Amino acid sequence: MKTVMAKHAVLSSGAKMWRSLSCAKSELRLDLTLACGQSFRWRETAEGHWTGVMAGRVWTLTQTDDTVWYHVYKDKGMQGEGCDSKRGAGVSLQMGNKSDKSFKGALKKEEQEEPVAVTSVHDTEEEEDMLRDYFQLNVKLGDLYEEWGAADPHFKCIADVFTGVRMLRQDPTECLFSFICTSNNHISRIQGMVERLCQALGAPLCQLDQTSYHNFPSLSALADSSVEACLRDLGFGYRARFLQQSAKQILDTHGLQWLEGLRGVPYVQARDALRTLPGVGTKVADCVCLMSLDKAEAVPIDTHVWQIAKRDYNYASGNAQKSITDKLHRDIGDFFRKLWGPYAGWAQSVLFCADLKKFQKLKEMPDLKQPLKEEKGGGEMRVAYKKTKIKTEEDETVKAMETKSAGRKKAKVSV
């Protein structure tokens, strides 16, 4: 009676369970995009195979030269039973949050009791749409790389190796609460924390090999008064309170749909709205704007990006500062927006990715199919930026609006 334990899918064994999506590696590199610190939910479960939870389902993704292969696990067995009220709410609330029409059918399907998981044509189309939405495949990354490279020699240099680094369009709730965990913290610990968070408070989805996969917790699950103590036990430290308080504040003063509604609000307004939440400062707010709220111009500035600005762009302003001030945030963000344009946040993620320790080996051994580009002296690249004008006039919309809305945590947003 004990069912055979399900396993992670592998492309080489059982091609029938895989579906495909035409997509060149220059448009999407799964390994870089999924492991560069945007989402903390994907794991490499086999060589080049990435497994994680997205839109309430468990996926394994892999790719060949011109194709992305995906498999969606169907496990009705674990749903609808064995979850407490908090978790139960997790499923429906999570799905209810989706405003996109393409996700409409999801809630109904979960509630039905189909004995066998037959994948209908409708499911197939729906899931392909989910992927296209999540990876924002309508955005032509190759064209953007061309533009950034034309405007910025240093970017062009990096871009030859780090192609296909693409911004994910994440669920706003998952994105916000994951990034509240990032303060004063490093990626490896954040990954563990987010995993424990989902395991403790998220609805279970399925189990593969020794790993159980859970949905990200709902707002109401996170807002429960018992959550802070629970998360402190799980090693969240002072962030435990931030998570619970932010969830409660959103539900009490804004409502369930508020976060998603910020997608339709201008960047600066959305960012200031987020900053009213405990544990959410400038950097975290920018991350959420960029990675889940469709604000491509948001450039999250952390100490690491500051180092990049100083080292590769000869950014001198704020040298006296010991740490990043609010003003420095604004100035560096404006600097990069001026350089890269409306998708500056996407460009920044490429450089950020290229600077991660775990990807350094790619710089030494580029693609074999591509002949080595001729070495360009790094020193000369920098000279080009020696005299780069850092400050610009008040002509930028973003800047103008920022100075206007100075009252930080007071900002009231009517959505």
Residues numbered 366-395 forming contacts with DNA, rule: CB under 7 A? none
Looking up tokens 């402190």, which residue turns up? Answer: 232
Q: Which residues contact 359 (CB under 8 A, 6 or more apart)?
A: 32, 36, 162, 353
The Cα 233–Cα 220 span in angstroms is 20
Residues numbered 212-231 forming contacts with DNA, rule: CB under 7 A? none
Of 27, 302, 312, 334, the one binding DNA by CB under 7 A: 302
Q: With contacts defined by CB under 7 A, name the span among 59-67, 117-125, 157-165, 185-193 that binds DNA.
A: 185-193
Q: How many Cβ atoms are within 10 Å of 131's Cβ, its own excluded?
A: 19
Pick 189 or 376: Cβ nearer DNA: 189
Of 5, 121, 320, 368, the one binding DNA by CB under 7 A: 320
The Cα 40–Cα 155 span in angstroms is 26
Confirm whether 409 is a catalytic residue.
Answer: no
Asked whether position 359 contacts DNA by CB under 7 A, the answer is no
Task: Look up residue 286 and give its amino acid.
Answer: D
Asked whether position 322 contacts DNA by CB under 7 A, the answer is yes
Query: In angstroms, what CA-CA distances link 186 with 216, 276, 301?
Result: 20, 24, 15
Q: With contacts defined by CB under 7 A, name the span among 199-207, 235-243, 249-257, 309-317 that binds DNA.
A: 235-243
Asked whether position 324 contacts DNA by CB under 7 A, the answer is yes
Residues numbered 8-67 forming contacts with DNA, rule: CB under 7 A? 36-37
Asked whether position 326 contacts DNA by CB under 7 A, the answer is yes
Residues numbered 95-134 forming contacts with DNA, rule: CB under 7 A? none
Asked whether position 165 contacts DNA by CB under 7 A, the answer is no
Query: In angstroms, what CA-CA distances link 317 with 223, 284, 393, 403?
Result: 41, 22, 16, 19
Query: In angstroms, what CA-CA distances link 246 with 159, 216, 250, 255, 273?
Result: 38, 16, 6, 12, 12
Of 273, 277, 289, 354, the one binding DNA by CB under 7 A: 277
Smallest separation (angstroms) from DNA to the CB of 279: 5
DSSP H helices in 262-396? 267-274, 282-292, 303-313, 326-340, 344-355, 361-364, 378-383
Count of residues engaged in binding DNA, rule: CB under 7 A: 43
Q: What amino acid positions are annotated as catalytic residues?
A: 283
Site residues, DNA (CB under 7 A): 36-37, 182-187, 189, 232, 235-239, 241, 275, 277-285, 287, 300, 302-304, 320-327, 352, 356, 403, 406
